[in-house]
């Protein structure tokens, strides 16, 4: 039996894509291993978002390539966003990788890997703008979306049965297929898992290259998402993190802009699921109805991951985005009116071409008034193929670095201050792991892995949901004292027990 290791870099969307590849490979007889040194093939799922991420991806490929000749590893293969974005260019620049596979190769990934091990030369694809593969109008995409390779979306698995003939005979641990849908094999065992809502993006932000290599926006069918959610719950998952390039656009290509509002209560009702969290919302697309559902639905986290990027209106227009500081503050006020303890996070770019001192002053004003729980700050750098790379008003790299340092320091202080404000509040903590200082995991206002976490002072098993009171803060992290016995993943939950903490 051939063995394969999947090394995943980048965001949670890449994690889902790796689990799709793992499902396809396991269904075709491959043995999955954690350590690349113990695998016949090391598959590196790369990130192609910004320069730092691309460097990490190249480093991971080179590290895997160093294993060849000294152990079991015979081949190293690049997949993912960087592989799709650069294709044959990456293959030429990085001969240490035995092959570069694009998204079109995912459906036949097992055959590709077997061929590579047999000494066949794989010709990498020439990069192309994947937005051109589907109609411009979202509602016109329909069945056409099924003809384009989109990671994480419906595609018939090897040997799978059709919807009319029942479930396929698949190895244990694989997502069951009912009709054309993606196989998935979990690569971890924790109580939190990402669940893909959609792929691609229809926005044209001046600084972002993602739409060109991820393609146009394509929603997954609600029933497909629900089926996978039930399967994840059967695998012991307690919190679902809904991921996409833009979750607030979900359903627009299905002809229903309220599809997410309808789907969230159904996901929250899945047996075994204790919490559903939505990530990446575009402020310009957040509707009052969506605010109401997120804020008021039991088991849906009152958490708002809002893509602000800046707060100066004129600079945001230059970025091809909408809004300004006052509109964003109004949105946050509307959220907190509905859910006073709601969590909110965002990311910001400093040093964008043409950014003035007045723009920075407006950004600083917003950050101070917004009281966000988590923030990321990035220094602008050119990305080839983007409009921003052609703009005038470029700032010298030392100036961008100075602005990044200044605002990173400010953000760190503001996040710590916001955490201090939460001392005395009741929080609902999902225990994700046994930490050195006690059980730890995300509270409702903290997204797993990207925000702070909460450490509990009492015992609680992994996967349990704990109502606690915050007694201390350290940076973005909290310390909380349990107030009620943990709600385990196996014990029936009393009615209302998992509702919003008062």
- DSSP one-letter code for 252: G
> Rounded CA gap, 469 and 502, in Å?
11
DSSP string, 60-111: HHHHHHTTTTTSS--EEEEEEHHHHHHTHHHHHH-TTSSEE--GGGGGGHHH
Give the residues across from 346 on adjacent strands. 375
Binding residues are 11, 47, 81, 201, 205, 208
Both ends of the chain: CA-CA distance in Å?
54
Binding residues for [4Fe-4S] cluster are 11, 47, 81, 201, 205, 208
Q: Which residues contact 246 (CB under 8 A, 6 or more apart)?
A: 198, 201, 202, 203, 217, 280, 281, 282, 285, 307
Q: Can you list the alpha helix ranges (DSSP code H) found in 172-296?
A: 210-214, 222-234, 259-268, 288-296
Alpha-carbon dihedral 124, 128, 130, 135, rounded to 10 degrees: -130
Burial per residue of 199-224, b for 16 or more beta-carbon CB atoms within 10 angstroms, e otherwise: bbbbbebbbbbbbbbbbbbbbbebeb
> Rounded CA gap, 61 and 223, in Å?
37
| Consecutive H or E run containing 369 | helix 357-370
The β-bridge relationship of strands 465-474 and 426-430 is: antiparallel
How many CB atoms are located within 10 Å of the residue 482 CB?
Answer: 18
Give the residues across from 99 on adjacent strands. 77
Dig out the tokens for 28 from the structure: 């075709």
Dig out the tokens for 471 from the structure: 């007694």
> Rounded CA gap, 170 and 421, in Å?
50
> Rounded CA gap, 373 and 229, in Å?
27
């Amino acid at each position: 039996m051939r063995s394969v290791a999947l090394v995943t870099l980048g965001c949670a969307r890449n994690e889902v894509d790796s689990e799709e590849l793992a499902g396809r490979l396991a269904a075709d007889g491959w043995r999955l291993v954690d350590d690349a040194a113990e695998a016949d093939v090391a598959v590196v799922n790369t990130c192609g978002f910004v320069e730092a991420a691309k460097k990490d991806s190249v480093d991971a490929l080179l590290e895997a390539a160093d294993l060849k000749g000294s152990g079991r590893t015979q081949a190293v293969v690049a997949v993912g966003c960087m592989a799709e974005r650069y294709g044959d260019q990456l293959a030429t620049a990085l001969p240490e990788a035995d092959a570069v596979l694009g998204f079109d190769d995912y459906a036949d990934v097992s055959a590709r890997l077997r061929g590579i091990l047999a000494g066949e030369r794989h010709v990498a694809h020439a990069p192309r703008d994947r937005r051109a593969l589907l109609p411009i109008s979202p509602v016109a995409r329909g069945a056409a979306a099924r003809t384009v390779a989109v990671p994480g979306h419906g595609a018939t698995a090897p040997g799978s049965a059709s919807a009319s003939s029942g479930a396929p005979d698949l190895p244990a641990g694989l997502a069951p297929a009912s009709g054309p849908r993606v196989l998935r094999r979990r690569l971890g065992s924790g109580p939190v898992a990402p669940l893909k809502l959609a792929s691609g993006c229809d926005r044209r932000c001046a600084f972002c290259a993602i739409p060109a290599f991820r393609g146009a926006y394509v929603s997954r069918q609600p029933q497909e998402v629900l089926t996978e959610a039930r399967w994840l719950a059967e695998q012991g998952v307690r919190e679902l993190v809904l991921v996409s390039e833009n979750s607030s656009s979900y359903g627009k290509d299905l002809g229903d802009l309220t599809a997410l509002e309808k789907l969230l209560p159904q996901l929250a009702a899945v047996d075994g699921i204790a919490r559903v969290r939505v990530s990446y919302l575009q402020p310009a697309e957040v509707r009052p109805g969506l605010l109401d559902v997120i804020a008021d639905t039991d088991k849906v986290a009152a958490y708002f991951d809002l893509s602000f990027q800046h707060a100066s209106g004129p600079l945001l227009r230059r970025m091809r985005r909408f809004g300004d500081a006052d509109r964003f503050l109004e949105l946050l006020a509307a959220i907190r009116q509905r859910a006073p303890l709601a969590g909110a996070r965002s990311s910001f770019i400093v040093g964008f071409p043409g950014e003035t001192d007045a723009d920075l002053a407006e950004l600083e004003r917003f950050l101070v008034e917004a009281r966000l729980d988590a923030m990321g700050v990035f220094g602008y750098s050119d990305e080839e193929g983007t409009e921003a790379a052609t703009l005038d008003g470029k700032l010298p790299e030392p100036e961008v670095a100075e602005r990044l340092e200044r605002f990173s320091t400010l953000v760190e202080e503001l996040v710590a201050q916001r955490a201090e404000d939460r001392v005395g509040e009741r929080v609902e903590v999902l225990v994700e792991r046994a930490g050195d200082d006690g059980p730890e995991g995300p509270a409702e206002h903290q997204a797993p892995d990207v925000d702070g976490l909460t450490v509990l002072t009492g015992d609680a098993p992994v996967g349990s949901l704990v109502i606690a009171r915050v007694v201390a803060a350290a940076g973005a992290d909290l310390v909380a004292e349990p107030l009620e016995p943990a709600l385990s993943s196996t014990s029936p939950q009393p009615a209302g027990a998992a509702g919003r903490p008062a």
